[in-house]
């Protein structure tokens, strides 16, 4: 009988954590997620997968922990004995990282170091290999030094968040080279979905479109509309994370679409999908500007495509449409096209997953 494959995911309650959990469960993994204790439920994105842990059918288990708390991370690792760890947890909002730089760097930079140290000790003591995935970001390219950006493009981070991700990136490489860890960096460009946090620009726009159509909102306040991003679909991107850990050797990979679009392009498609003109609704608020901006991101996915056999399944117009449709469904409007309705069902269940 083959052994159960066990994975730990930090950041399981986030957008990527929820899609990765679904994917790993579909591959017959036992999935252990680390969640933060909060005074209100924070498990909306994973409730649909959760089965009472007393049931023999339970394959998803939750543990309280935090990337700022190294002792607990070690304890969970010892208890769970995973073969793979996906480090997705982070204060992931770039604008917020300027307001809370210390906490951002602690969770993103030091959090990764704490986890790597725990893996190093566990592996050295037990001789059991634990494969490690680090959620790196295209934000690390910041003030871009080449177009498009690939694995060899130098970093030029422009926010506390991006600086912390660069630190985590290099620590991951150092632990790979110093202690022979199977540790990979994914350098993922922006990826979105109906499960995207409501304060990131894409979801802020698609949610506003739906609420404007439903008569629940009149204006949408945004910051810089000229920045360009390489936007893909989150569900495609979590497969690349898993593929990296299935290779013979650990390595670093850019995951991107190879296309770039401005916020204005996104607005144009999202509003025209419901026959509205975005210029009638969007207003400027300087609160959403950043002290330093990342003007242009466009990734070169050639290495992921060649070595991992990874390919995106959704293009830019398809992504915008499925996000608008899911947000329309959330306000009770069917747009005929049911793209994203599965996610609407996920996001509207009441929270049930708990840790005893």
Q: Which residues bind ligand G4F (CB under 6 A)?
A: 92, 94-95, 137-139, 189-190, 199-201, 204, 222-224, 227, 229, 263, 288, 290, 293, 297
Per the annotation, the verdict on 137 as an active-site residue is yes
Task: Name residues contacting ligand NAP, limited to 189-228 (CB under 6 A).
Answer: 190-191, 197
Q: Are 163 and 102 in contact (CB under 8 A)?
A: no
Token pair listed for 59: 């394959």
Exactly one of 50, 161, 175, 253 is catalytic; name it: 161
Distance separating alpha carbons of residues 162 and 141, to the nearest angstrom: 8
107 binds, among ligand G4F, ligand NAP, none (CB under 5 to 8 A by kind): ligand NAP
Q: How far is CA 337 from CA 19, 78, 279, 324, in A?
A: 22, 47, 25, 10
Task: State which of residues 6, 7, 8, 17 lies at the interface with ligand NAP (CB under 6 A).
Answer: 17
Is 149 an interacting residue with respect to ligand NAP (CB under 6 A)? no
Q: Which stretch binds ligand NAP (CB under 6 A): 60-68, 125-133, 325-333, 346-354?
A: 60-68
Task: State which of residues 89, 109, 194, 340 lies at the interface with ligand NAP (CB under 6 A).
Answer: 89
204 binds, among ligand NAP, ligand G4F, none (CB under 5 to 8 A by kind): ligand G4F
Task: State which of residues 92, 123, 149, 185 lies at the interface with ligand NAP (CB under 6 A).
Answer: 92
Exactly one of 139, 175, 193, 341 is catalytic; name it: 139
Per the annotation, the verdict on 2 as an active-site residue is no
Per the annotation, the verdict on 64 as an active-site residue is no
Distance separating alpha carbons of residues 74 and 173, to the nearest angstrom: 21
Exactly one of 21, 92, 137, 341 is catalytic; name it: 137
Task: State which of residues 88, 166, 254, 319 lies at the interface with ligand NAP (CB under 6 A).
Answer: 88
193 binds, among ligand G4F, ligand NAP, none (CB under 5 to 8 A by kind): none
Q: Are 136 and 187 in contact (CB under 8 A)?
A: yes
For residue 355, the minimal CB distance to ligand NAP (Å) is 13
User: Residue 233 forms beta bridges with which residues?
Assistant: 192
Q: Are strands 84-87 and 131-137 parallel, antiparallel or unpaired?
A: parallel
Rg (C-alpha) for the chain, rounded Å, is 20
Q: Are 77 and 87 in contact (CB under 8 A)?
A: no
DSSP assignment of 149-202: B-TTSPP---SHHHHHHHHHHHHHHHHHHHH---EEEEEEPPEE-TTS-TTSHH
Q: Are strands 232-233 and 282-284 parallel, antiparallel or unpaired?
A: unpaired
- Which residue has 């999202």 as its token pair? 270
Is 299 an interacting residue with respect to ligand NAP (CB under 6 A)? no
The residues annotated with a catalytic role in the active site are 137, 139, 161
Q: Contact positions toward ligand NAP, by CB under 6 A?
A: 10-17, 36, 38, 42, 66-68, 88-92, 107, 135, 137, 188, 190-191, 197
């Amino acid at each position: 009988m083959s052994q159960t494959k066990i994975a730990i995911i930090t950041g399981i309650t986030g957008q990527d954590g929820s899609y990765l959990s679904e994917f790993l469960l579909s591959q017959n993994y036992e999935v252990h997620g680390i969640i933060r204790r909060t005074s209100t439920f924070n498990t909306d994105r994973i409730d649909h997968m959760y089965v009472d842990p007393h049931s023999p059918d339970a394959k998803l288990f939750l543990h309280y922990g935090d990337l700022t708390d190294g002792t607990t991370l070690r304890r969970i690792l010892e208890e769970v004995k995973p073969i793979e760890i996906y480090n997705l947890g982070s204060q992931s909002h770039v604008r917020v990282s300027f307001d809370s730089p210390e906490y951002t760097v602690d969770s993103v930079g030091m959090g990764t170091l704490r986890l790597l140290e725990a893996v190093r000790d566990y592996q050295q003591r037990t001789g059991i290999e634990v494969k490690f995935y680090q959620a790196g970001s295209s934000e690390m390219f910041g003030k871009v030094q080449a177009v498009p950006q690939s694995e060899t493009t130098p970093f030029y981070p422009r926010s506390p968040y991006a600086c912390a991700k660069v630190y985590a990136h290099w620590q991951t490489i150092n632990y790979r080279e110093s202690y022979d860890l199977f540790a990979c960096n994914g350098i993922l460009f922006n990826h979105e979905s109906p499960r995207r946090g409501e304060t990131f620009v894409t979801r802020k726009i698609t949610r506003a479109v739906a609420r404007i159509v439903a008569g629940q909102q009149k204006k949408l306040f945004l910051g810089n509309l000229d920045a360009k991003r390489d936007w893909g679909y989150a569900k495609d991107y979590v497969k690349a994370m898993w593929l990296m850990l299935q290779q013979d050797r650990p390595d670093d990979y850019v995951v991107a679409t190879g296309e770039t679009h401005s916020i204005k392009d996104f607005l144009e498609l999202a509003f025209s999908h419901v026959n509205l003109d975005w210029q009638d609704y969007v207003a400027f608020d300087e609160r959403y500007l950043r002290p330093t901006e990342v003007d242009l991101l466009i990734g070169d996915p050639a290495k992921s495509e060649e070595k991992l056999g990874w390919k995106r399944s959704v293009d830019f117009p398809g992504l915008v449409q499925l996000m608008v449709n899911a947000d329309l469904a959330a306000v009770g409007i069917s747009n005929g096209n049911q793209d994203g309705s599965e996610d609407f069902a996920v996001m509207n269940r009441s929270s049930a997953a708990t840790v005893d």
